[in-house]
Copies of this chain bind each other. A is one copy, B any other.
């Protein structure tokens, strides 16, 4: 019965809350690293710079709070949020484009922590093929269809030049890829059932540029 109720609660979590979960997860992880066992909504709100009432509303979705005044059980909340985010599963990932960014991602330790296992890198450049990055081999792009099939890969990180990204995404989709972590500075325009999470570095850089020049103009006035 308790289990049923928990499951029901889980299904009711709103998209707005879901969007905030990765940040909660990051802060709770920091607290665990600092061996904090319990934290009040007030303390957490000061760290995260959101209101305590927002935190209470958000985290009450997951239970894990003792009597008033005791605060949240950090480990419990961390685990529950991790489950919602699907971090308790393991997924095989390939990185398509083994240039600097692709290799940086292959070295990115958070992949492991979040349940993502990089099983292969791929590139068209024959000078890169055969090299291994953190124990993961760089393969020729022609090996993609067989590799995806035999390694049960559903996720691809795209770190290739933008002029090739859209076509490659369509090919990968046809080979069985269901989700893309896209670093190419374009929108992939794939069917709706394909998952795309974009990291648009150029847009982030332009936002930074805008903020800097607004600030400089303010100073000049």
Pairwise interchain contact A22-B197, C-beta atoms closer than 8 A: no
Residues of B within 8 A of A26 (CB): 185-186, 200, 202-203
**Complex CA distance for A100 and B89, rounded to whole angstroms:** 27
Residues of B within 8 A of A37 (CB): none
Question: Interface residues of A toward B: which range?
Answer: 35 or more
Pairwise interchain contact B197-A199, C-beta atoms closer than 8 A: no
Asked if A179 is at the interface of the complex by the 8 Å CB criterion, the answer is yes
Residues of B within 8 A of A125 (CB): none
Closest 9 CB pairs of A and B: A86-B213, A100-B104, A22-B203, A197-B208, A22-B206, A104-B104, A101-B104, A86-B209, A100-B107
> How would residues 9 to 26 of chain A score, 1 for a CB under 8 Å from any chain B CB and 0 otherwise?
000000000110111011
Write 15 A-B pairs (CB below 8 A) sorted by A numbering: A19-B207, A25-B206, A26-B200, A26-B203, A86-B212, A86-B214, A91-B212, A100-B108, A103-B104, A108-B201, A111-B205, A116-B205, A155-B212, A179-B215, A195-B215
Pairwise interchain contact A85-B201, C-beta atoms closer than 8 A: no
Pairwise interchain contact A204-B212, C-beta atoms closer than 8 A: no
**A residues with CB within 8 A of B:** 18-19, 21-23, 25-26, 30, 48-49, 84-87, 89, 91, 99-101, 103-104, 107-108, 110-111, 114-116, 154-155, 178-179, 181, 185-187, 193, 195, 197, 199-215
Residues of B within 8 A of A25 (CB): 206
Pairwise interchain contact B202-A207, C-beta atoms closer than 8 A: no
| Given known contacts A114-B202, A202-B114, A213-B86, A197 and B186 CB-to-CB distance under 8 angstroms | no
Residues of B within 8 A of A179 (CB): 208, 211-212, 215
**Complex CA distance for A48 and B187, rounded to whole angstroms:** 9
Please state the number of chain copies in the assembly: 2
Pairwise interchain contact A199-B199, C-beta atoms closer than 8 A: yes
Pairwise interchain contact A85-B206, C-beta atoms closer than 8 A: yes
Of the residues B110, B185, B199, B200, contact of A185 by C-beta under 8 Å: B110
Considering the complex, give the chain B residue whose CB is closest to the CB of A116.
B205
